[in-house]
Structure 1
Amino acid sequence: MATTRIGLDRLPPAARAAVEQHTGPLLTVEESTEGFNSEIAARVTSTTGTWHIKGLRTDHPRAWTQRRETAVAPFLTGLAPALRWRVETAGWDLLGFEALHGHHANYAPNSPDLPEVATLLRRLNETPCPDIELRQAEQRLEHYAAHPDDLHYFAGPHLLHTDLNNANVLVDAEAPQGDRARLVDWAWATRGAAWLDAGYWIIWLIAAGHTPASAEHWAAEIPSWHTAPAKGITAFATANANLWSEITNADPDPWALRLATASNAWHTHRRTS
């Protein structure tokens, strides 16, 4: 469920002052409409630079996501915007990230962004998983797998993002080809089988207009996909169909329904192909 967004101007004065200790007096504030996890999300500029700020109240049920992003950020060089500072004061936890240029990835068929996203996921697979506290993929999916025996397919030692929403991928067309995409919002960083992010990408590709076969073709651009057992892929598709069904039963908004439709299409494709 989405978190209610508020403007940066509604921060307590002490929290705003603490931010400006890092930035200097703010000249512009551009509130962001993307994302679901943050109460504060804004791109700010001062005479000393530009940052993307995201934050939650320290008593928010998802306050743990700020801690997760802080813990994983040092290990994401070349994959994500750098975390420049963190402020915890006046009941708020605020993160100041390097402000990236670019556009949200276009996942539609024939989009020029697709090869860049595939390259990004390959680089992620090559990134060592840090020795920090992370959820395990098999734990996150244990209530959605068709059979308990399926959970071993999802286990592994690899660092995963798991939220391949196209709004979480920024593509800078001015950067060198093959190094244009970055992943933002690492709140759901997870440890698991290397091929799972390619699987999560499939659902978003189908939601963007791909057939399941076309989406799997793009997943196959990531070498780890070829390590996935066919039964494991089908089990993963089943678990995600069950997960999105639960989400839409609780909150049937159009965004969630689109993902539920996509995950069901992939599930059907896996069971009938």
Structure 2
Amino acid sequence: MATHRLTELPADALKMIATIAGPVHDVEMVSAGYNSEIAARLHLDNGTVFVKGLRQDHPRVWTQQREADINAFTQGLAPALRWEIRKGGWDLLGFEDLGGRHADYSPGSPDLELVLQAMRYLTSATPPSGVELKTMPQRMIAHVTDPADVRFFEGSTLLHTDWKPDNVLIVDGQARLVDWAWASSGAAWIDPALWVIWLIASGHSAADAESLAALHPAWDITPVRHIDAFACAQQRLWESIARADRPDEWTHKLHAATQAWVEHRG
């Protein structure tokens, strides 16, 4: 799942960035996140910019284009895209540097309401036409018990889907969302359902995690069977990831969280 993170910004990439953004006075490499080889905060003449990038021959370089294409449709939640560079073997994106801090998902955290506000706001967005997005039925087809169950996940809502706390920044009393590489289309209740897994992994009981998800307007109008099928699919997904070579600590936590969720739904 994870992409190897570089600990230094390659000189050739830095040179290309300077031609677009101007002189770079300082580079802070960022360790959080899994999808990029390059993640860095650059200090420029006119402030800072956050850069993420992959080599052009990386198997997931498509995620860079996904983020660039969707950025205009996620204003108010995602950081604004300032520039793109695709040459010299690198695919680089320069974003508004939001600052802030990572969200705290622990029980009782005031950030939980801010995350819910962001989810409610996202519900009003629809997948942009002309941008290639996978649907949740497509993403879950290999993990459902009954292939017919994927119809439960159909919908026209734009979904973020990657609710790792590192992807939620608390900025001026608002939750902002970064890393839209896995944006998809599907039923509106799916983002809060995916959040349930992260909440359990962050110390909530399955019952308490679902109580928070139920504050999302789409939750209570969703048939129980649909959420049951999704919980089981997520358990099978994380089980397969946990069996991969050298899974990290969060993988084990999420696998255990999905098991606890399925057991709770019984």
What is the TM-score when the length of structure 1 is the normalising length?
0.94
Matched, 1:82 2:77: no
Matched, 1:262 2:257: yes
Give the length in aligned residue pairs.
264
Q: Distance in 2 between matches of 1:210 and 1:156?
A: 28
Q: Distance in 2 between matches of 1:211 and 1:6?
A: 36
Structure 1 residue 102: Cα displacement = 0.9
Q: Distance in 2 between matches of 1:58 and 1:154?
A: 32
Correspondence 1:30-45 to 2 at 5 A:
30-45=28-43
Q: Deviations 1:78-101 (Å, cap 9, x if unpaired)?
A: 011011100111100000000012
Quote the residue 2:212 is aligned against: 218
Q: Distance in 1 between matches of 2:119 and 2:109?
A: 16
Structure 1 residue 10: Cα displacement = 1.9
Q: Distance in 1 between matches of 2:227 and 2:104?
A: 24
Quote the residue 1:98 is aligned against: 96
Q: What's the Cα RMSD here?
A: 1.1
Matched, 1:171 2:167: no
Runs of 4+ in 1 over 6 A off after TM superposition: none
Matched, 1:156 2:149: no
Q: Deviations 1:110-162 (Å, cap 9, x if unpaired)?
A: 00100000000000101222112100100100010111121111111110011
Structure 1 residue 17: Cα displacement = 2.4
Structure 1 residue 53: Cα displacement = 0.2
Conservation of the 8 A alpha-carbon contact between 2:9 and 2:38? no
Conservation of the 8 A alpha-carbon contact between 1:23 and 1:48? no
Structure 1 residue 224: Cα displacement = 1.3
Quote the residue 1:10 is aligned against: 10
Structure 2's unaligned 5+ residue stretches are: none
Structure 1's unaligned 5+ residue stretches are: none
Correspondence 1:1-273 to 2 at 5 A:
1-12=1-12, 15-131=13-129, 132-172=131-171, 175=172, 177=173, 180-251=174-245, 252-271=247-266
Letter of the 1:167 counterpart: D
SS at match of 1:224: coil
Letter of the 1:3 counterpart: T
Structure 1 residue 8: Cα displacement = 4.4
Identity between Structure 1 and Structure 2 (%): 48
Structure 1 residue 246: Cα displacement = 0.1
Letter of the 1:9 counterpart: L
What is the TM-score when the length of structure 2 is the normalising length?
0.97
